[in-house]
Amino acid sequence: MAFVFEKTGIPEVIVVTLQQFMDSRGFFSELYRISDFKAAGIEVGLAQLNQSFSRKNVLRGMHYQIRPKPQAKVIFVPQGEIFDVAVDIRQGSPTYGKWVGQNLSQDNKRMLFIPAGFAHGFCVLSEAAQIIYMCSDEYAPECERSIFWNDPVVNVVWPIAEPILSSKDAQAPRLADSENNFVYSGK
């Protein structure tokens, strides 16, 4: 198997560690194999692949898409290091409003699977970072929503004190005031 799958404090959010095959020419890694992901309980197809580049102390988030175009994501960092966060926004969930965070980097070869029904954000810890997002549905601006990165009820413990934010992220609503049509199904 090309991956190691580990559940986090919110079991639906899964850390995926890559195996890297190295020799004198360089290395090779698989980033996604549908059969391995399905065997680990991750049963989503991937519809869109995104790349972003950010500098140190940039914080992007906390973003999600509501139905009918919700996005599950697999986050991968081929260059640099980020602190990646998922917040459960599924109404009725036993972990509603709770978060998990993971350092993802080119060195630790970890990815993070974030299911639909979770807000996602990250901050850059290295001088710069490239981030690859594998998404289960296409971007739909009419479904795009966000929650405030520093909502005191959610209380994410970010590893940077003064993040660089977009004006949109700086003005996002708190979780209690955000539009959200996700309901926990007990699965």
Residues with catalytic function: 63, 133
Going by the DSSP 8-state scheme, the letter that residue 25 receives in this structure is T
Local structure of 109: helix, strand or coil: coil
Phi/psi region, residue 186 (left: phi>0; alpha: psi -120 to 50; beta: rest), is left
Strands (E), the chain: 3-7, 14-18, 21-23, 26-28, 48-55, 59-65, 73-79, 81-88, 99-105, 110-114, 118-124, 128-135, 144-146
Listed residue (117, 73, 116, 123) closest to 102, CA to CA: 123
Local structure of 170: helix, strand or coil: helix
